[in-house]
């Protein structure tokens, strides 16, 4: 059979079981909960649809958990996590554990069950869901706890204990994992209305007693370890926040006695101050560090590590899909061992494996060489174990040499290396990559050429993706539809979208993106250097998963990607038709990125490929080109000191794509999914002619924080209605929105558009919504 050189092939039958049990100092921070074939998603969605019962959902969940525990135990892992499973989100689980349910859900203070739990996660008929936000700098989203001074905490979900017992009944002794009390509060927000005057951290004294109850019950159930995840220790924390750690763990100390306690950090190194606080916490047995992203962790440990404590060394990357360089990791581990002492090192993952794909075994279509360079969660478990064995003197030579061979093949593969691309990227040489004329001058030129009214209307790109369109794409992919029939079907759809926009009297049109399934995949499939998996899903939130492409090699564009469709669409109308591209930063941030060169180099390469596309669109007579960068903010490093560098190269990458176009070519960009208030200067520095930006939910917040004296020189289109809701905004409502926007912006560069693409909406919603939007713009034109 066509299986990868998975480490499982080299399992441990040759070794004496007694020494192995002693030896393998191995630990996994957390494991993906979605199942190797998205079993949890399908079980959840069918339960939510009322098609299956709660029992059936629970049975699927129990099956996933038990197979993970057995797999980890079978692989030889010593410290196996429990309670890293979740029906929706681990922060929400903690909210349930603490009984911190916001009053609007009408919870009766009994054990938090599915109804309350899923109402908080997804809303119900009467009450909307709680807010969701990004988990550090990952693409995972957690449900943000809402806390106020009157929140009454109580032990209201016994999930951590139940799962510990469940594993024990299966014969697996696990380390129950809890989100630590301080990180829980630091990741919370004040309840509505008291944002200005309340700090959730002030509740520390009220939640610690609940943690004590949980710990006591875990002890009674036979737990020998407990793991507290305190990832906020990688932030820049102030003295008061650090004090909270000291306080909380002193309070917990007596309850923790008799238990081994691991404090786990991840996603970056901890600052020197945080390290000092962390390593002096009371009652702690071991500390977990991210040695992949934590560039300075090694130095911190060299400067002093508390004697007698254990170091959980996260050398296997939980954020990526690359096979570990085992020889190099073993070197690091041995260096660490020299510092902290023999038997004090536990080999671990850099963070929970939640952020990587589940199992490479299910990838039967991937190129054989590429596959040999990869490790998903299941393979990473074997890597951790192999390293732990090697560290204790039981190195599996066959496995290490197979790994070294794969590493070498990746380094020298012609699939990875493209000299022309590397030269072109090197030639950028730190230059600014800016358009010659400033934005004011360009806009004047463009105004004459495009001849648009004030408050011009446009949309963000996609139109509803009907069942028909999805079927056409699928059938073409499965070769059930000929190229000719496919092109005709798409052409017809574009024509429909163009006609609709003309009828609605929108000023700058789009083709509707019917040929695209996903804004990154569409380009990745046409660029060199990208590979795609069949089952490489990663949880984004709840039952929503993404399947990021893998960037394995130098990126280039063999041929034009969008010119055919854009010219075809432009040919259908006299109005300007926007060319529609995804920007380099977004393509990169939504992919698994190669780890053998700095991220900015990969980003510059993608930018150069997109630049070729921009130039070809311009040549084909497309005068307005939108380059979407919704994920620009996502790559922002967690530590303030590193942010300026990232923003500099990310913004430059965007400019690379379009710095050579003529003044008359109007470059748009679009941003969404987050608050952009804190990177407003970088958005201005992108030097686009028009920026459309998600805004309708944050009201005019974005605009009101424009720093004194800062003006958007470019055109700006703050979204006037929310596309994520089926609600149709009224003409009056949009009129008022526009009025407010114009008041704040005080310039005549305001554009009128929805928040984002219309892909997930129905035509019955889009048509009246856009019609109201155009009417509202026209009304305001008269009034201005």
Residues annotated in the binding site for 5-methyltetrahydropteroyltri-L-glutamate, as ranges? Answer: 41, 139, 590
Is 724 noted as a catalytic residue in this protein? yes
Report how far residue 314's alpha carbon sits from residue 293's, in angstroms, rounded to the nearest whole number.
9
Contact partner at residue 580 from ligand GLN, Zn ion, none, CB < 5 to 8 Å by partner kind? ligand GLN
Beta carbon nearer to ligand GLN, 290 or 628: 628
Alpha helices in 505-598 (DSSP H): 521-524, 563-570, 584-589
Over the range 209-239, which residues count as b (16 or more CB within 10 Å of their CB) and which as e? ebbbebbebbbeeebebbbbbbbbbbbebee
Judged by CB under 6 A, the number of residues near ligand GLN is 13
Report how far residue 513's alpha carbon sits from residue 759's, in angstroms, rounded to the nearest whole number.
9
Report how far residue 176's alpha carbon sits from residue 227's, in angstroms, rounded to the nearest whole number.
6
Q: Is 723 within 8 Å of 699 (Cβ atoms)?
A: no
Active-site residue among 141, 150, 511, 724? Answer: 724
Q: Does 769 bind ligand GLN (CB under 6 A)?
A: no
Contact partner at residue 684 from Zn ion, ligand GLN, none, CB < 5 to 8 Å by partner kind? none
Report how far residue 318's alpha carbon sits from residue 353's, in angstroms, rounded to the nearest whole number.
5
Q: Does 688 bind ligand GLN (CB under 6 A)?
A: no
Contact partner at residue 594 from Zn ion, ligand GLN, none, CB < 5 to 8 Å by partner kind? none
Contact partner at residue 229 from Zn ion, ligand GLN, none, CB < 5 to 8 Å by partner kind? none
**Nearest to 401, CA basis, from 3, 7, 1, 4:** 7
Among 165, 355, 652, 670, binds ligand GLN (CB under 6 A): 670
Cβ at position 580, least distance to ligand GLN in Å: 6
Binding site, annotated residues for Zn(2+): 670, 672, 681, 685, 694, 756
Contact partner at residue 301 from Zn ion, ligand GLN, none, CB < 5 to 8 Å by partner kind? none
Binding site, annotated residues: 41, 139, 460-462, 513, 590, 628, 670, 672, 681, 685, 694, 756
Beta carbon nearer to Zn ion, 82 or 695: 695
Among 214, 672, 716, 734, binds ligand GLN (CB under 6 A): 672
> Contacts with Zn ion in 671-730 (CB under 5 A)?
672
Report how far residue 204's alpha carbon sits from residue 186's, in angstroms, rounded to the nearest whole number.
10
Report how far residue 157's alpha carbon sits from residue 143's, in angstroms, rounded to the nearest whole number.
16
Q: Does 460 bind ligand GLN (CB under 6 A)?
A: yes
Chain residue at closest Cβ approach to ligand GLN: 757
Cβ at position 756, least distance to ligand GLN in Å: 5
- Residues near 303 by Cβ (< 8 Å), separated by ≥ 6? none
Beta carbon nearer to ligand GLN, 288 or 757: 757
Beta carbon nearer to Zn ion, 597 or 677: 677
Rg (CA), the chain: 27
Among 231, 524, 579, 630, binds ligand GLN (CB under 6 A): 630
Among 757, 761, 766, 776, binds ligand GLN (CB under 6 A): 757
Among 759, 770, 773, 780, binds ligand GLN (CB under 6 A): 759
Contact partner at residue 774 from Zn ion, ligand GLN, none, CB < 5 to 8 Å by partner kind? none
Q: Does 756 bind Zn ion (CB under 5 A)?
A: yes
**Nearest to 349, CA basis, from 375, 316, 322:** 316
The full length of the chain comes to: 784
Question: Could you write out the three-class secondary structure of 247-301?
Answer: HHHHHHHHHHCCCEEEEECCCCCCCHHHHHHHHCCCCCCEEEEECCCCCCHHHHH
Beta carbon nearer to ligand GLN, 167 or 631: 631
Report how far residue 455's alpha carbon sits from residue 692's, in angstroms, rounded to the nearest whole number.
13
> Contacts with ligand GLN in 519-538 (CB under 6 A)?
519
Q: Does 761 bind ligand GLN (CB under 6 A)?
A: no
Report how far residue 639's alpha carbon sits from residue 650's, in angstroms, rounded to the nearest whole number.
16
Beta carbon nearer to Zn ion, 384 or 672: 672
Binding site, annotated residues for L-methionine: 460-462, 513, 628
Beta carbon nearer to ligand GLN, 178 or 580: 580
**Residue range at the interface with ligand GLN (CB under 6 A); choices 601-609, 616-624, 643-651, 754-762:** 754-762
249: tokens are 């763990």
Report how far residue 473's alpha carbon sits from residue 70's, in angstroms, rounded to the nearest whole number.
40
**Residue range at the interface with Zn ion (CB under 5 A); choices 226-234, 304-312, 603-611, 753-761:** 753-761
* x-or-dash string of contact with ligand GLN, 583-622, rule CB under 6 A: ----------------------------------------
Beta carbon nearer to Zn ion, 446 or 696: 696
* x-or-dash string of contact with Zn ion, 649-678, rule CB under 5 A: -----------------------x------
Q: Does 756 bind ligand GLN (CB under 6 A)?
A: yes
Q: Is 207 within 8 Å of 248 (Cβ atoms)?
A: no
Report how far residue 644's alpha carbon sits from residue 685's, in angstroms, rounded to the nearest whole number.
12
436: tokens are 């010659």
Q: For residues 294, 536, 140 and 103, what is the CA-based torsion angle, rounded to 10 degrees?
A: -140
Among 461, 548, 584, 715, binds ligand GLN (CB under 6 A): 461
Beta carbon nearer to ligand GLN, 81 or 757: 757
Among 462, 539, 658, 665, binds ligand GLN (CB under 6 A): 462
Q: Which DSSP string corresponds to 649-715?
A: HHHHHHHHHHTTS-TTSEEEEEE-SS--GGGHHHHHHT--SEEEE--STTTTHHHHT--TT----SE
Q: Is 362 within 8 Å of 36 (Cβ atoms)?
A: yes
Q: Does 580 bind ligand GLN (CB under 6 A)?
A: yes
Residue with tokens 């096979």: 323
**Nearest to 440, CA basis, from 169, 185, 714, 655:** 714
Report how far residue 668's alpha carbon sits from residue 88's, in angstroms, rounded to the nearest whole number.
36
Cβ at position 458, least distance to ligand GLN in Å: 11
List interacting residues with Zn ion (CB under 5 A): 630, 672, 756
Residues forming the active site: 724
List interacting residues with ligand GLN (CB under 6 A): 460-462, 513, 519, 580, 628, 630, 670, 672, 756-757, 759
């Amino acid at each position: 059979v066509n299986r990868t050189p998975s480490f499982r092939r080299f399992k441990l039958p040759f070794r004496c079981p007694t020494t192995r049990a002693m030896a393998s100092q191995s630990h996994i921070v957390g494991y993906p909960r979605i199942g190797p074939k998205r079993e949890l998603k399908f079980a959840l969605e069918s339960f939510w649809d009322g098609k299956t019962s709660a029992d059936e959902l629970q049975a699927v969940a129990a099956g996933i958990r038990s197979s993970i525990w057995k797999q980890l135990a079978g692989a030889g892992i010593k410290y196996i996590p429990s309670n890293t499973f979740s029906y929706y989100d681990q922060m929400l689980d903690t909210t349930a554990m603490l009984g911190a349910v916001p009053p609007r859900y009408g919870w009766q203070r009994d054990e938090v069950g599915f109804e309350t739990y899923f109402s908080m996660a997804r809303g119900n008929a009467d009450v909307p869901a709680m807010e969701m936000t990004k988990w550090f700098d990952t693409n995972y989203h957690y449900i943000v706890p809402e806390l106020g001074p009157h929140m009454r905490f109580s032990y209201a979900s016994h999930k951590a204990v139940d799962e510990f017992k469940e594993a024990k009944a299966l014969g697996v002794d696990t380390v129950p994992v809890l989100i630590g009390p301080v990180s829980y509060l630091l990741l919370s927000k004040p309840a509505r209305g008291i944002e200005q005057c309340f700090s959730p951290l002030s509740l520390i004294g009220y939640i610690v007693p609940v943690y004590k109850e949980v710990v006591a019950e875990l002890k009674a159930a036979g737990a020998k370890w407990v793991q507290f995840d305190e990832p906020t220790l990688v932030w820049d924390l102030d003295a008061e926040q650090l004090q909270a750690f000291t306080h909380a763990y002193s309070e917990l100390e007596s309850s923790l006695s008799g238990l081994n306690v691991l404090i786990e950090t991840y996603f970056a190194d901890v600052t020197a101050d945080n390290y000092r606080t962390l390593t002096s916490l009371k009652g702690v047995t071991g500390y977990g560090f991210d040695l992949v992203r934590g560039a300075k962790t090694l130095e911190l440990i060299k400067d002093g590590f508390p004697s007698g404590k254990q170091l959980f060394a996260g050398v296997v990357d939980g954020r990526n899909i690359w096979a570990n360089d085992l020889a190099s990791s073993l070197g690091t581990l041995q260096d660490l061992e020299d510092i902290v002492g023999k038997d004090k090192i536990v080999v671990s993952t850099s963070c929970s494996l939640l952020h990587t794909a589940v199992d490479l075994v299910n990838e039967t279509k991937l190129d054989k060489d590429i596959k040999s360079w990869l490790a998903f969660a299941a393979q990473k478990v074997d890597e951790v174990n192999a390293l732990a064995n090697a560290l204790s003197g039981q190195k599996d030579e066959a496995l290490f040499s197979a790994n070294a061979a794969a590493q070498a093949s990746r380094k020298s593969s012609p699939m990875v290396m493209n000299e022309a691309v590397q030269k072109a990227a090197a030639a950028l040489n730190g230059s600014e990559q800016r358009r010659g004329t400033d934005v004011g001058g360009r806009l004047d030129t463009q105004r004459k050429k495009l001849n648009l009214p004030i408050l011009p209307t446009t949309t963000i790109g996609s139109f509803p993706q009907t069942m028909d369109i999805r079927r056409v794409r699928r059938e073409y992919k499965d070769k059930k539809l000929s190229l000719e029939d496919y092109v005709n079907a798409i052409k017809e759809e574009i024509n429909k979208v163009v006609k609709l926009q003309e009828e609605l009297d929108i000023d700058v049109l789009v083709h509707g993106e019917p040929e695209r399934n996903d804004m990154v995949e569409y380009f990745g499939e046409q660029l060199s250097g990208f590979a795609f998996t069949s089952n490489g899903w990663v949880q984004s939130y709840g039952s929503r998963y993404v399947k990021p492409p893998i960037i394995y090699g130098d990126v280039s564009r063999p041929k034009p990607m969008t010119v055919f469709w854009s010219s075809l669409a432009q040919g259908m109308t006299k109005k300007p038709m926007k060319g529609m591209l995804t920007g380099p930063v977004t393509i990169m941030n939504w992919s698994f990125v190669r780890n053998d060169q700095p991220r900015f180099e990969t980003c510059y390469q993608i930018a150069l490929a997109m630049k070729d596309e921009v130039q070809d669109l311009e040549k084909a007579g497309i005068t307005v080109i939108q380059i979407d960068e919704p994920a620009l903010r996502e790559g922002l490093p967690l530590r303030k000191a590193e942010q300026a560098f990232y923003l500099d190269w990310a913004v430059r990458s965007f400019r690379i794509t379009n710095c050579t176009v003529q003044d008359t070519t109007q470059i748009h960009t679009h941003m969404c999914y987050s608050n952009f208030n804190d990177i407003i200067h970088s958005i201005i520095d992108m030097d686009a002619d028009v920026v459309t930006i998600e805004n309708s939910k944050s009201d005019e917040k974005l605009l009101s924080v424009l720093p004194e004296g800062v003006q958007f020189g470019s055109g700006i289109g703050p979204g006037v209605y929310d596309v994520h809701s089926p609600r149709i905004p009224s003409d009056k409502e949009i009129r008022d929105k526009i009025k407010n926007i114009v008041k704040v912006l005080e310039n005549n560069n305001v554009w009128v558009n929805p928040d984002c693409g219309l892909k997930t909406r129905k035509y019955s919603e889009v048509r009246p919504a856009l019609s109201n939007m155009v009417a509202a713009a026209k009304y305001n034109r008269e009034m201005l």
